Amino acid sequence: MLLSRSECLSHFTPTYGSWLNLVERWFAKLTQKQIRRGSHRSVPELEKAIQEFIDVHNSEPKPFVWTKTADEILASIARFAQRTLNTHGSAN
């Protein structure tokens, strides 16, 4: 079934790649809070706005703390997989 649907793509996060989610979240925050809110008439103005965001962000750094254990995350993934199977059935 999956092979017959060309609009379906599989993406796999590499082992130990969960930190990439944090990087993506940081860039989303930069985009939402600094880039979209501003009116940048030139590349230097945009670069200045980005640097200001970085300076403010780095002035009070806060470490990220995971709020769930690995077992809780794996259980959540298992529940999602089961819901997906219940909704869409097996590909076999």
pLDDT in tens, 21-73: 788 888 999 999 888 888 889 999 999 999 999 999 999 988 777 788 888 88
Which sequence spans correspond to the domains of the chain? 19-67
* H helix runs in the chain, sequence order: 19-30, 43-59, 70-88
Q: In terms of C-beta density within 10 A (0-12 exposed, 13-18 middle, 19 or more buried), how is residue 46 classed?
A: middle
Does the structure show a pLDDT above 80 at 19?
A: no
pTM of the model: 0.51
Q: How far apart are CA 35 and CA 40, in angstroms?
A: 8
Question: Helix, strand or coil for residue 61?
Answer: coil
